[in-house]
Amino acid sequence: MQNLLDKLNPSQQKAVTHTQGPLLVLAGAGSGKTRVLTYRVAYLIKECGVPPYMILAITFTNKAANEMKERLVQILGDDGERVWARTFHSACVRILRQEIDAIGYGRNFNILDAADAERLVKECVSELNLDEKAFAPKIVIPVISDAKDNMLSPGDFLKRFGNDYRYKNIGRIYELYQKKLKIQNALDFDDLITLTVKLFEENPSILEKYQNRFRYILVDEYQDTNNSQYRLIKLLSQKYQNIFVVGDDDQSIYKFRGANIRNILDFEKDFPNAEVVKLEQNYRSTQNILDAANAIIQNNTGRKGKRLWTQNGQGNKITLYTAFDEFDEARFVSDKILELVERGKTYKDIAILYRTNAQSRVLEESLTHSAIPYRVLSGIRFYDRKEIKDVISYLRLIKNTDDDLALKRIINEPKRSIGKTTVDKLALLAARYQISMFEALKRDEILESLQRAAGKLVEFRDMILSLKEMVNKVSVEELLKQTLEKSGYLQMLQESNDPDDMDRISNINELINGAAKFDETSDDPTFENYMDQISLVSDIDNYDDAQDTVVLMTIHSAKGLEFPCVFLCGMEEGLFPSLKSLLEEDGLEEERRLCYVAITRAKEELFISHAKSRLVFGKTEKSRVSQFVKEIPDGLLNKESAYEETPAVKVYDFTKPQPSAFTSSLLNMAKKEKKDFEFNFKKGDYVEHTKFGKGIILEITPVGNDYHLQIAFDEVGTKNLMAAYAVDKLKKI
DNA sequence: CGGCGACAAGTTTTT
DNA sequence: CTTGTCGCCG
């Protein structure tokens, strides 16, 4: 253990060796907070003799939970496995699967994701004959979510807001929504937390059981907790007060999801006798990067106050690039990446970050043209793809046949000639009998009244029941394969002519592989556990740096990650900070924290770019540089621009009129063209590329002032290159 | 009942 | 510009 402590600085040591009573660790970006968390767990077990199962370590993402688990196993061996290192959601699911009958739900509840919740809300709105636009899910769901976060039941909500027409109706939607969830024995994401709180508040003996069990509680990313999560923590830690939270008020970026920064700011008030440890030494970035981050964040009010420093040295200046438009920006990014790689960086050292997912497209195109391998951690989760959701819906229905949402999704997918009219009729009859739709399919009198369609419905019902028979008799992988077979889903895709369906099949194969992996690696590979796991993962959880590619993602997704080189794109007013944030109270401060998070992802090199104009909804809009960029001291920046070839040596001659931005950019582009184009290849030429080796040109297509080349290389396969970039690296052979 | 075409709306971030 | 939804027609 002493060796472990030797690896820590004095502040970190102080945190790790604090064992009794509440402690807040204010951990700046890159200050080694994961190390502190894991070492503290190790310290409790090894030095204080705390049994591992008495420790609960809570994180927000599965990735963080798995990372912590891995590191604990490294230090502690088997004892590491026995610590509960889980996300809020998965910890709650685990508790609810044991105890939820105490509050009137069945233990085999299904978990709805955001898309399901949206569909359910739409159903409610239409059943209540409310206007679909005024009560769109976008409006209704955040209100319901907020009500749940504050532990307001539909009744409480109506009592409090029932005077307002709009809120009264949202209250009615909430009421119906919750009723439907109950009938289907389903929980949404918020329910996982709030029902656990409700369970504990209404059942003191159950609460006490878990208080005794989890004698030591650790919470990561404490600044992201919302009200119900705070309440949960508070309840669980009430008896023994061993609550150890780690967070950074400057990195609170999830207000829109209910995160309440008050939780971290008021920790000392909430937990009397709390101690506070600040971790300010940064082990990640260069001093220049930290100076920029510090300069920006100090414009926020209501901070705990921290100033990051490092022994890593000053490092290079931050590059700031002023682009003509987003295409020029993308080209800058690609060019710089090629340069970095030439200087010895690998692709996986590089991340491209942006505010909104929509920005990725142009960047992707440019990367493709430059033959730079990349991955996008997209906004669409793997499990959100249609074909995956369809298949999962089968599994959900098999697991819990009362899941009407799942049933509706797949009852006619593939086509079984069970049309909308039939489904609506069935739903109506089920509602009349107060039972789920699948239950209705078991009643003769209901089937009779459906007449013509009854045969098909019975066929569907029996198919599901026969699959249900197999649950936990065969592996999850096998169950999945049987489902694809018996439902005819796979066959439908295989017989399709749509090229997209080929991708769908490969996605489904990936799902099968995932299930097989689950069967092999899970310590308890039941069907139920599999379903819980897939309900709670996101794409970022699957990010691994094993593949050597550049990675693109939103800043939100990048939280908790680090890269030697970071590109921060689209630093423009209205985009970042976003237009909407400027209208919200404290919105700008949240954006500034987001900017702080973005900058502190970089270890060595940081490139910031903004465009003078950008296409928005297909229209060209002028844009100004982000105010956050202006908050960075000039001395830290190395400015480059589409408008000037060599800004450092350029002498301005103010006696002559300056060219307008537009003309100067055109001049600049013309210059580039002249330089770049000595292009004398033709289709069928054998060529050698400095990176890809030998190949043959398959196709040359003019694109604007450039040429698109398709070249089949002997070793790396067929690549698409743009002549302007490739020409220097290509020669005829 | 299913497929296709027209039109509208939307881009902030997601466990 | 793209995606999703709605309505009409076969």
Tell me the pLDDT tens digit for each residue of A437-473: 999 999 988 888 877 778 888 989 999 999 999 998 9
* Nucleotide in closest CA–C1' contact with A553: B13
pLDDT, residue A282, reads 93
* Top-ranked range on mean pLDDT: pick from A1-15, A123-137, A486-500: A1-15
Residue range A305-340, pLDDT digits in tens: 888 899 998 999 999 999 988 899 999 999 999 999
pLDDT higher than threshold 80 for residue A381: no
* A226 Cβ within 7 A of any nucleic strand B atom: no
pLDDT, residue A255, reads 87
User: Could you give the percent of chain A with pLDDT greater than 90?
Assistant: 46
Query: How far is Cα A572 from Cα A591, in angstroms, rounded to an integer?
Result: 12
Distance of A40 CA from B9 C1′ (whole Å): 51
Is there a catalytic annotation at residue A221? yes
DSSP state letter for A323: E
* Nucleotide in closest CA–C1' contact with A255: B13
pLDDT higher than threshold 60 for residue A661: no
pLDDT, residue A135, reads 84
pLDDT, residue A693, reads 72
- Categorize the per-residue pLDDT at A716 as very low, low, confident or very high, splitting at 50, 70 and 90: low
Q: Among residues A8, A633, A561, which one has the least CA distance to residue A295?
A: A633
Q: Among residues A554, A602, A629, A609, which one has the least CA distance to residue A256?
A: A554
Q: Among residues A186, A179, A173, A176, which one has the least CA distance to residue A141?
A: A173
* A619 Cβ within 7 A of any nucleic strand B atom: no
pLDDT, residue A707, reads 64
- Categorize the per-residue pLDDT at A600 as very low, low, confident or very high, splitting at 50, 70 and 90: very high
**Strand C nucleotides within 7 Å of a protein CB:** 1, 6
DSSP state letter for A46: H
Distance of A415 CA from B3 C1′ (whole Å): 13
DSSP state letter for A156: H
Higher pLDDT, A137 or A543: A137
Weakest-pLDDT range from A342-346, A632-636, A718-722: A718-722
Query: What size, in residues, is chain A?
Result: 733
Distance of A219 CA from B3 C1′ (whole Å): 52
* A380 Cβ within 7 A of any nucleic strand B atom: no
DSSP state letter for A87: E
pLDDT, residue A657, reads 34
Tell me what the pLDDT averaged over chain A comes to.
Answer: 85
Q: Residue A220 has which token pair?
A: 């990561």
* A540 Cβ within 7 A of any nucleic strand B atom: yes
* A618 Cβ within 7 A of any nucleic strand C atom: yes
User: Does the model's pTM come out above 0.75?
Assistant: yes
pLDDT, residue A648, reads 38
pLDDT, residue A724, reads 65
User: Could you give the percent of chain A with pLDDT greater than 70?
Assistant: 90
Could you tell me if A192 and A230 are in contact, meaning their C-beta atoms sit under 8 angstroms apart? Answer: no
Residue range A664-701, pLDDT digits in tens: 333 333 323 323 345 677 777 778 777 667 777 776 76
Ordered alpha helix ranges (H), A386-453: 386-399, 404-410, 420-433, 437-440, 444-450
* A132 Cβ within 7 A of any nucleic strand C atom: yes
* A617 Cβ within 7 A of any nucleic strand C atom: yes
Is there a catalytic annotation at residue A34? yes
pLDDT, residue A701, reads 60
Distance of A64 CA from B15 C1′ (whole Å): 12
Is there a catalytic annotation at residue A601? yes
